[in-house]
Amino acid sequence: MLPIFEIRADLEGTFIKRPNRFLGLVKVGHKIVEAHVHDPGRLPDVLIPGNRVLLKRANAKNRKTKYSLLAGKVKGNWIFTNSGYHRRLSGALLERLGEKIFPGLLKYEAEPRFDNGRLDYLLHFKDEDKLFVEIKSCTWAKEEVALFPDAPTTRGQKHLKHLIALREKGVRACLWILVFRPEAKCFRPAHEIDSKFAKLFKEALAAGVELYIHQLAYNGEKIFFKGSLPLCDFTP
């Protein structure tokens, strides 16, 4: 595995509960601390009462919470769940492995505009070709199948529609899935959670939207690149 990004946890504790979407209560020693949950999903097998979690101290003075939740332990693995680092992490992947993942990559720009919205990246290639990229992070799995999303996502549906619209204009477009489940053997859209997303996912592939799926692992100190994952067989 190739180390890509360093993010060291400061504390380990026991997850108690999630009072709301953005807040988690964690027992550290004899104290209960509040931690910001920077993930819009449900994290159904990560944020379970009694589960071990990792926290990072917040540097911002005006933060309501002193800590951010980084990861939770599932089947002996730390599952990285903090989407606040995804821009820097994906940037590190492009810097370290850009030409391996996207052959011929020359440079990239973040958050390019498309009509009335934005996507994550616009890649520029040596042959003057261009590729719009939208990234989705996957933190949920059943057995050895990585699944996204773990909660209905109108935002994710919107992004797929953007990618399809680009293809209809003859522009290259790509969905880049980052899977944070090291035990996964393949990936599929979670049609049992969001059937509309799964349907649009299939339509996007049929329209020529390119799909890249890469697997990452976290050990509490660094995030490692494991390689590519295949798409599972699925029927929306």
Instruction: Convert the pLDDT of each residue in 57-85 to its tens digit.
Output: 988 777 889 999 999 999 999 999 999 99
Cβ–Cβ under 8 Å, residues 32 and 76: no
What integer is the mean pLDDT of 1-25?
A: 95
**H helices present in 119-234, as ranges:** 154-168, 195-206
Instruction: Convert the pLDDT of each residue in 83-123 to its tens digit.
Output: 999 999 999 999 999 999 999 999 999 998 877 778 999 99
Distance separating alpha carbons of residues 37 and 34, to the nearest angstrom: 9
**Cα-trace Rg, the chain:** 18
**Helix (H) or strand (E) run with residue 225 in it:** strand 222-228
Q: State the pLDDT confidence band at 236, using cuts at 50, 70 and 90.
A: low
- Considering the entire predicted model, what is its pTM? 0.93
- Helix 195-206 to helix 154-168 angle, to the nearest 10 degrees? 20
Place of tokens 């057995």: 143
